Amino acid sequence: MHNLDTYQQIEKIKALHWIRQSAIFLKTSLESDDPEARQGHKDLLVSFYAEVSDYMPLQQYHAAGKDIEYFIRLIDLALAYFVHGMEAEGQVQ
């Protein structure tokens, strides 16, 4: 899938899961306008974009920086994309 071997795909999926869990953890703090949470959101977004920049338009990146719910949905879509790709290649059952 997209020139990634099985190990790279698994590592990408693991990274996306970690980013998702971290974003969910930050969600409550973001709602209370915590400056540290805002920075954490930005850091997670940069990490996310590093994982999926080949698949995501820059407009989505900017929108995800403004809305944590949208960001989490994008992460879910990316996870589904990579997991489905592995399933389609017969690497995961």
pLDDT tens sequence across 14-36? 999 999 999 999 998 888 888 99
pLDDT tens sequence across 54-83? 888 999 999 999 999 999 999 999 999 999
For 39, how many CA atoms within 13 A lie in the half-sphere containing its CB? 3
Confidence check: pLDDT of 85 > 90: no
Centre a 10 Å sphere on the Cβ of residue 71 and count the other Cβ atoms it contains: 25
Please give the pLDDT value at position 92. Answer: 57
Instruction: Please state, in angstroms and rounded to a whole number, the distance separating the CA atoms of residues 47 and 85.
Output: 21
Any residues with CB less than 8 A from the CB of 78 and at least 6 apart, and which?
A: 16, 48, 51, 52, 55, 56
